[in-house]
A and B are shown apart, each in its own frame.
Chain A
Amino acid sequence: MRWCSRIIIFCIVLCLLQTIAFGRIRIDIYGPVLVPFPVAVAPFTFSGGASQGIAMQVESILINDLEISGFFSVTDIKGFPPGAMAGLKNPKAIDLALWSGMPQEALVSGGITLAGENVDAHFRLFDLVEQSFVTGLRYRAPLADLRNMSHRMADEITFHLTGQVGVSHTKIAFILNNGKSKEVYVIDFDGNGITRLTNHDSICLSPAWSPDGKNIAYTCFRKRNPDLYVYNMERKNFRIASSRVGVNGAPAWSPDGTKIALMIRDGDRSRIAIVNSIGAANPLFLTSGGGNEASPVWSPDGQKLAFVSDRSGNPQIYTIGSNGKGLTRITFEGKYNASPAWSPVGDKIAFCSMINGNFDIFVCNPDGRNIQRLTQNAGNNEDPTWSPDGRFIAFSSDRRGISNIYCMNANGANVRRVTFSKFQETGPAWSPYLI
C-alpha cells in the first residue's frame, strides 16, 4: 500500500508540474539590433592643480578610444538626463535612478589630480541597467604618460563591458621617410603620440616587434649593408644583431621570442633562415630548392611560417613547418602575392596581391582557401599587420597620393587613417599587448 501511495503522490506531482508547464508561454525573439553599446562619459573633474585642459584631454582620448574600438557609441554631457551632472563630482551622490529609461547602458565618470610630478587619474564605471557600480580604478604616472593612462582606462572599461581585451594602449611601428632618411617611428593605436625611435639618418626598413613588446628589430643600411638591428624600447638604444654580407632583412620574431626568422643571402639569392635572437650565428635555412624568398612570418603557435617565394616564376605565398618540413603553396591567383601576416588567432593569413597594377589586401585561411578581398579602388594597399586581438588590420596605402598608415576592421570595414604627416609612411607593424 505504501508503494501505491507513493506512486499516487508521484502522479499528483507530475500532474501539478504539467499544469504549471501549461502556464508557460513561449516567445521567440530573433535578431538583436546590432548597434554599439551606448555609454555615457561624464566630463572629467580636475583638482589639485590639474587644469581643465588635462582633464579634457584624458576624457577625449578615452572617448575616442571607446568609439574607434567599434564596441561603443559615446554620449557626452549633451545627452545626459537633467540633473545627472549634479551628482557626478561626488561619486557618493551619483544618482543612477536618473538614468532609468535612458538609452545609455553604462556611465563613466572620472577625474584628474596633480600629485607633485605625477598625475592621478581615476575613473568609475556604472551599469545603468543594473543600476550598479561595476569598477573603479586609479592610475598614477608622470604627466608624460597621460595618454597611456587614458588608453589603459579605455581598455579596462572595454573589458568590463564586452569581455574583450582592448587594444587601445597598443602601438604601431612604421617607417617614416622624411625625404632625407627613413627612420623607425611608433604611434599609438588611435593615431596620436607619434615618436621617433631611430636616429641613424639612414635607410631603415621592416620594423618587427618582439613578442614582449620591448624590442623592435629592423633592417638598416648605415654600414653599406642591409644589417639587422634591434632597438630596445626601455634602454632606448640599439644593437646590431646580424651583419652577414648581403641582406639581413624582413625580421620576424618567433612567438617565444628566442628566434628570429630572417631573409639572408645564400649564394645568389635571398632565403629564409632562422637565427637566434641574441646572436645570429649558424642560420638554419628552412627550404630547399630555388627561388628568391622574402617576408617570413610565424604562425602564433610557432609551428609554421608563411613567406614569399618566387620559385614558381613570380612571388607567391607559401607555408612551411618551422622544422623545414611541409612546404605548401597557398596562393595561386594573380602574379604577385606578398607580405603575409598571420592573424593572432591563427585562423587567417592576410596578404597583399597585385591586381591591374595596384596592390590590395586580402585574407585567406592558412591553407589558402576562402580568399576575401578587403580593399578596393583606393590606390595601393600594402603591408597588412594584425592588431593583437585580431579585430583590426593596419596597412599602408597611397590612396591620398602619398603612402600613409591606415587601419580597418578585419573584414575591411571602417577604414580609419592612423598617421597624418606629410611624409611617406610605410611598413606598419602592430605591437603585441604592451605591459
Chain B
Amino acid sequence: MSLNRKCHLRVIFLAGLSLLLIGGCAKTVKQGGGATLPPVEEVTKKKSEEAIEGSEMDITDLDASIKKKEYPGIEGEFIETDLLKDCYFDFDKHDLTPDARRILAENAEILKKRFPNRKIQVEGHCDERGTKEYNLALGERRAASIKNYLVSLGIPGRNIGTISYGEEMPIDPRHNEDAWAKNRRGHIIILSD
C-alpha cells in the first residue's frame, strides 16, 4: 500500500511540476517574444515534448542553451544551442583532428537525443589568412568533412545541409594565432522549419 501511495504521490508531484514548468515557459516566451500567439504555442509545445523525451537531462540547462538567432544580413531564423560544440581545424586543412572527432561524436549524441529529425546546417569557417575565394572553397570542404563524419555516426544525411562562410564570419576579430585558431571552425545550427 505504502508503495502504491508513494507512486501516486510521485505522479502527482511530476504532473504538478510539469504544469508549473509549462506555465513558466509560456510566461517567459510571452515576455520575450512579443504579442504574436502562434510561435509561443509552438515553442512551448516543442519544449514540453523535448522535456519529456530528454527526461535524463537537466531541464533548466536545456532551456538556457536554446536560442533563436539570426545572422545579420542573412535571411531566415535558426536555433543555436551551446550544447553543440564547435570543432576546430588546422591551417589550410579540412580533415578532422582527433579532438574534432570527439567533439563531433558528442554533438551527434545530442543531435540524436534532442533534435532527432531536425534539419541542421553545418557551417565551414576559415581564419582571415589566405585569399577570400580560396577560403570559401576551403570552408565548403570543411563543412563536407563534418557532414560526412556525422553521417557515419548515424545522423541521416538528408537532414544535414552545409554552407561555407569562408573567412567572412570570424568569431574572434583579432589578428593573431589565438584568434585564427578559434576562427578555423565547424559550427552546427538547427534550422527553423
- Residues of A that sit less than 8 Å from B by CB: 180-182, 200-203, 205-206, 219, 221-226, 245-247, 249-250, 263, 265, 267-270, 292-295, 308, 310, 314-315, 335-336, 338-339, 352, 354, 357, 359, 382-383, 426-427
Contacts and interface: CB of A to CB of B under 8 A. Distances in A.
Contacts of B94: 292
A294 B72 contact: no
17 contacts: A205-B136, A206-B132, A221-B73, A221-B74, A224-B121, A226-B163, A226-B164, A247-B140, A247-B164, A249-B133, A268-B140, A269-B141, A270-B136, A294-B131, A294-B134, A308-B131, A315-B92
A270 B137 contact: yes
Nearest to B121: A224
A357 B75 CA distance: 36
Given A203-B168, A205-B168, A270 B140 contact: yes
B137 A336 contact: no
A263 B137 contact: yes
B130 interface: yes
B137 A247 contact: yes
Contacts of B73: 180-181, 200-203, 221-222
A224 B121 CA distance: 10
A394 B162 CA distance: 34
A128 B145 CA distance: 70
B137 A225 contact: no
B133 A263 contact: yes
Given A247-B136, A294-B131, A426-B132, A268 B141 contact: yes
Contacts of A382: 131
Interface string B162-178: 11111011000000000
Contacts of A357: 129
Contacts of A247: 136-137, 140, 164
B106 to A, nearest CB: 23
Nearest to A269: B141
B177 to A, nearest CB: 10
B83 to A, nearest CB: 22
Contacts of A294: 131, 133-134, 136-137
B121 to A, nearest CB: 8
Contacts of B141: 268-270, 292
B150 interface: no
B165 A336 contact: no
Given A223-B75, A226-B163, A314-B92, A269 B133 contact: no
Given A181-B73, A247-B164, A308 B144 contact: no
Interface in B120-134: 121, 129-134
A339 B131 contact: yes
Contact of A201 (B72, B76, B138, B161): B72
